[in-house]
Amino acid sequence: MSLFVLLHLPFSMVEEAMTRQTEDDELLARAAWLHFMGRLTQSEVAARLGISTTRAHRAIAKAQAGGMVHIVVNATSATCLEMENKLAETFELSMCRVAMDLPERGPIPLRSLGAAGGEWLTQVISSKAHNVVGVSHGRTIAAMVEQLGQTASTDTIFVSLLGGLTRSLAANPYDVIHRLAQKTGADAYLLPVPLFTDSAKDRDVMLAQSMLGESFARMHSATLCIVGIGDLTSSIGVAQTNAASLAEDGAVAEILGQFIDKDGHKISTALDGRTMAMNLDDLANREVVAIAGGLGKVAPIRAALKSGLLTGLIIDEETARALVDGLEGENAVAAQ
Vertex 148: Cα angle to 53 and 33 (nearest 5): 35
* Neighbouring C-alpha atoms within 13 Å toward the C-beta of 38: 15
Highest mean pLDDT among 20-24, 171-175, 260-264: 260-264
pLDDT tens readout for residues 114-138 = 989 999 999 999 999 999 999 998 8
Start-to-end Cα distance in the chain? 42
* Rg (the chain; Cα; Å): 22
Measure the CA–CA gap between 305 and 262, rounded to whole angstroms: 10
Q: Is the pLDDT of residue 167 over 60?
A: no
Residues in the chain, overall count: 336
Q: Find, among 97, 182, 191, the residue nearest to 140 by Cα.
A: 97
Third-level CATH fold of 76-335: Rossmann fold (3.40.50)
pLDDT-based confidence at residue 253 (cuts at 50, 70, 90): very high
Question: What is the C-alpha separation between 288 and 266, in angstroms, rounded?
Answer: 16
185 residue type, one letter: G
- Give residue limits of the domains in the chain: 2-71, 76-335
Per-residue model confidence (pLDDT) at position 43: 93
DSSP state of 164: -
Does residue 174 surpass a pLDDT of 80? Answer: no
Q: Shortest CA distance to 24 belongs to which of 59, 56, 53?
A: 59
Q: Are 53 and 42 in contact (CB under 8 A)?
A: yes
Compute the average pLDDT of residues 242-251. 82
Using the predicted structure, report yes or no on whether residue 300 has a pLDDT greater than 90: yes
User: What pLDDT is recorded for position 15?
Assistant: 46
Of 117 and 36, which is predicted with more confidence? 117
Which residues have CB under 8 Å from 254's CB, separation 6+? 229, 230, 231, 232, 235, 236, 237, 238, 260, 300
Neighbours of 114 (CB within 10 A): 24
User: pTM of this prediction?
Assistant: 0.79
What is the reported pLDDT for 105? 83
**Predicted confidence (pLDDT) at residue 4 exceeds the cutoff of 60:** no
- pLDDT value at 110 more than 80: yes
What per-residue confidence (pLDDT) applies to 316? 96
Instruction: Quickly list DSSP for 177-204.
Output: HHHHHHHH--EEE---SBSB-SSHHHHH
Give CA–CA dist 30/219, Å, rounded: 40
Please state which CATH number belongs to domain 2-71: 1.10.10.10
